[in-house]
Amino acid sequence: MTNTDFLGLIHSLTAAAETSLGQYNALTARMHRDGVTRNRATAERSLRLLEMLVQKTRGNLNADEASTLTDAVQSVSKLLAETPLEKAEA
């Protein structure tokens, strides 16, 4: 059975990284309005936390949880690679 709290944690870390790199969507726009600014270090920290979750949960996740976590790591990694340093450091 999928743990919705775990999936929520993954989505929260992903949203924090996206917001920190200036990517706003319906879920992250509120954070921007509340004064959260772009910060590459925050996005990198979110990625490190997601990667740590991959290591610490290996073999203990169901297919949905593992897929969600893998997708999040890939998404944040790609976003960091595509975001110029100066854009993220506003």
Residue-level pLDDT at 5: 93
Q: What is the mean pLDDT of each run of 10 residues along the chain (90 residues)?
A: 91 88 66 64 93 97 96 95 66
Residue-level pLDDT at 63: 96
- DSSP assignment of 73-84, as one string? HHHHHHHHHHS-
Residue-level pLDDT at 73: 97
Token pair in block for residue 43: 């996005």
| Whole-angstrom distance, CA of residue 30 vs CA of residue 47 | 21
In this prediction the pTM is 0.77
Token pair in block for residue 2: 């999928």
**Do residues 14 and 76 lie in contact, with contact meaning Cβ atoms separated by under 8 Å?**
yes
Token pair in block for residue 15: 């949203």
Residue-level pLDDT at 34: 63
**Do residues 11 and 64 lie in contact, with contact meaning Cβ atoms separated by under 8 Å?**
no
